[in-house]
Amino acid sequence: MGADGGVAPMVEGAASLSLDAHDTSLLLVGDERSIREALSRCSHAASRVTVLHAQSSVTMTDTPSEALDRMPDASILLAARAVADGSADVLVSAGNTGAVILAASRTFSRLPGVRRAALAAVIPTLEPHGPHADPFALMLDVGATLETTADELVSFAVMGSAYSRIVSNIERPRVGLLSNGTEPKKGTKAVVMAHERLARTNAVAFAGNIEGLDVPRGSVDVVVCDGFVGNVVLKMLEGVADAARGIAKNAYAARLRYKLGLMLLSQGLRRVSELVDWKQYGGAPILGFDRLVIKAHGRSNARAVRNALKVATKTVERDLIAAIATGLDATRESAEPVAP
Amino acid sequence: MGADGGVAPMVEGAASLSLDAHDTSLLLVGDERSIREALSRCSHAASRVTVLHAQSSVTMTDTPSEALDRMPDASILLAARAVADGSADVLVSAGNTGAVILAASRTFSRLPGVRRAALAAVIPTLEPHGPHADPFALMLDVGATLETTADELVSFAVMGSAYSRIVSNIERPRVGLLSNGTEPKKGTKAVVMAHERLARTNAVAFAGNIEGLDVPRGSVDVVVCDGFVGNVVLKMLEGVADAARGIAKNAYAARLRYKLGLMLLSQGLRRVSELVDWKQYGGAPILGFDRLVIKAHGRSNARAVRNALKVATKTVERDLIAAIATGLDATRESAEPVAP
């Protein structure tokens, strides 16, 4: 209900998937009339689509805690409860990110060994990743947990690694810890301690510390950082393409051949922007709970919603929760002192 | 002595400045023979150049604390002592950054109200700044103080503002606090508290919180953050231009007209890279001490060294230390409770 484009892209994406995903049932939670109206306008497999009516919903501008307190039957809470009670297997939302995280944390339990949830994001990289040569890496946290302990960073590494393996089909995703230098002793106290623990465990393929320049380069498959740094980095990446174009224009506006070059490149740059746009990719996970949550971008179009639903299906079929739990167990074992 | 290009670019830059800066005396500290040899190869005003011999010097790969303990008469320590005892007014180095910061902190005192020093950097921005429309903003800290308190962030804001006013001639530099959202309550505890204090003071023109995308955009003249975030951001900016070019190439290698565009642009991009290169700009300050320190990039060429020396001269002539001290006083006054 709360996505920027309203119910239409959500319903269209779900309707489209219902036509070919024969093993998938879709539960659409929100204002029943709006949803049915949108459904009537697109072809879908009616037997695989169910509507659950919600009387209220959180908007993008609502304050999450206030909104969830005021609307105990908001669509995001009903959807989360449906996942909690087993009526559904995975929660997908393109609404208010804070409200999705809060609804999950109020409705689901955290996995053993996870103290804080992480919101992941897909970031564009120069180097390709995995068997499909995706020009993306996964970064977490990007805003759910601003200040983190070493243990939390380690759990982010495990969760990101499991997600990357299951969704991007990367057998042993390389995990990098974002710091101010590659040496193990570089970083905040939490980062230095997390490095020590990650270097000792076999639960993830730890590539050591990475630096800021490794982020756009894409030296690793999974970038681990606290939510404050992750949020700054993610928003910088959003802004930097525009800025680079603008700097070039400012500096060489007077020179015809650069102008010509820019003109020729502009369509290419537009396509590059699309390439790195969440709208096309579909979504990113909120990790740490005993239930699965995929957050699609608020500006998702029908194709992005369809992609988010497909990603969500994959996380269920390949049991992401079990993979994360196994990884967390493995780090706990390696953290325990070894008898001589 | 410790710069990537050895003594030659340092001596050449100083020699060049000695020819036109009639009010400036240059004290070159390091291996006397190497310095005299380099001096003999370039025209200079001998009356304005003095050499102070140092038997040892720190290299780029040395561990700062170990190197300074082992070499109590390293060139960086002799140079700092010359500034401390008044034989010189400002310290300029293109050597090991950690060693420069440590030498300063062992030799100088911190200004009242400053608990931690800050290393600033000049970052390329889309929007121009100041009367000369510089395509640069100042960011601090970028690595001297990884974890900061609110008070430290406030002192960084004051110091960066004073530097920007004095060196870039911006009358009331706009200072932004880097956070994960523009709302005053967004951020880590330290950031939220720093915001409150900066909003109350008149010591700086506080523009509020800025986000990651404001960094390349250049929405403010001075970006304030802790050294961990600043280091990540700075290195990301270094890497991102290459990555953007690479992504465009990867994605459209097969399409002739994009190739043509890239080819035409490549010289432009090279020039843009030069524009944002420290080598051309000259240096950035280490702030917080009762003595002035300008850190030039290790890869500085003679022109960059000359520029760094000119910037250093400006900080002396316009009394940056007094400007910082006044600003720090003003924040302390506004921090004190006001009687009703």
pLDDT in tens, A78-103: 999 999 999 999 999 999 999 999 99
Concatenating the DSSP letter of every residue in A26-92 gives EEEEE-HHHHHHHHHTS---GGGEEEEE-SB---TTS-HHHHHHH-TTBHHHHHHHHHHTTS-SEEE
Residues of B in contact with A179 (CB under 8 A): 228, 232
Residues A211-234, mean pLDDT to the nearest whole number: 93
CA distance A233 to A229: 6
Residues A212-241, mean pLDDT to the nearest whole number: 89
Nearest neighbour of A217 by CB, restricted to B243, B248, B255: B243
Give the residue ranges of DSSP H helices in chain A. Answer: 7-20, 32-40, 64-70, 75-84, 97-107, 150-168, 189-200, 214-217, 227-252, 256-275, 278-281, 302-317, 320-335
Q: What pLDDT is attached to residue B59?
A: 96
Residues of A in contact with B143 (CB under 8 A): 180
Q: What pLDDT is attached to residue B268?
A: 45
Interchain pair A262, B260: CB under 8 A: no
Q: What pLDDT is attached to residue A244?
A: 53
Max mean pLDDT among A101-110, A118-127, B241-250 falls in A101-110
Interchain pair A229, B229: CB under 8 A: yes
Residues of A in contact with B257 (CB under 8 A): 264
Percent of chain A whose predicted confidence (pLDDT) is above 90: 73
CA distance A14 to A303: 9
pLDDT one-digit tens code per residue, B273-321:
544 554 456 688 999 999 999 999 888 899 999 999 999 999 999 999 9
Q: How far is B146 from chain A (nearest CA, A)?
A: 6
Q: What pLDDT is attached to residue A124?
A: 77
Is residue A309 within 8 Å of residue A26, measured between CB atoms? yes
Q: What pLDDT is attached to residue A251?
A: 47
Nearest CA in chain A to B268: A258
Nearest neighbour of B216 by CB, restricted to A231, A240, A269: A240
With CA atoms as reference, report the closest residue to A326 among A147, A165, A144.
A165
Nearest neighbour of A178 by CB, restricted to B178, B189, B232: B232
Is A238 in CB contact (< 8 Å) with chain B?
yes
Strand B174-178 to strand B26-30: parallel, antiparallel, or no bridges (unpaired)? unpaired
Q: How far is B199 from chain A (nearest CA, A)?
A: 21
- The CATH number of the structural domain formed by A1-108 is 3.40.50
Interchain pair A135, B238: CB under 8 A: no
Q: From first to last of its 340 residues, what are the pLDDT tens digits of chain B?
A: 999 999 999 999 999 999 999 999 999 999 999 999 999 999 999 999 999 999 999 999 999 999 999 999 999 999 999 999 999 999 999 999 999 999 999 999 999 989 999 999 988 777 888 898 887 899 999 999 999 999 999 999 999 999 999 999 999 999 999 999 999 999 999 999 999 999 999 999 999 999 998 988 889 999 999 999 999 998 888 776 555 555 455 544 445 544 554 544 444 444 445 445 544 566 889 999 999 999 998 888 999 999 999 999 999 999 999 999 999 999 887 665 544 4
> Residue A257's pLDDT band (boundaries 50, 70, 90)?
very low
Residues of B in contact with A194 (CB under 8 A): none
Q: What pLDDT is attached to residue B322?
A: 96
Q: What pLDDT is attached to residue A216?
A: 81
Q: What pLDDT is attached to residue B125?
A: 79
Q: Where are the domains of chain B?
A: 1-108
Q: Give this complex's ipTM.
A: 0.85
Nearest neighbour of A232 by CB, restricted to B233, B257, B275: B233
pLDDT one-digit tens code per residue, A23-60:
999 999 999 999 999 999 999 999 999 999 999 999 99
Is A180 in CB contact (< 8 Å) with chain B?
yes
Q: What pLDDT is attached to residue B328?
A: 93
Is A253 in CB contact (< 8 Å) with chain B?
no
Is A98 in CB contact (< 8 Å) with chain B?
no
How many beta-carbon contacts under 8 Å exist across A and B? 198
Phi, psi torsion values for B81, nearest 5 degrees: -65, -35
Interchain pair B251, A216: CB under 8 A: no
Tell me: pLDDT of A243 over 80: no
Interchain pair B237, A272: CB under 8 A: no
Residues A110-132, mean pLDDT to the nearest whole number: 88
Which of B97, B192, B265 to mutate to test binding with chain A, by most A CBs within 10 Å of its CB? B265
Interchain pair A243, B143: CB under 8 A: no
| pTM across the whole model | 0.87
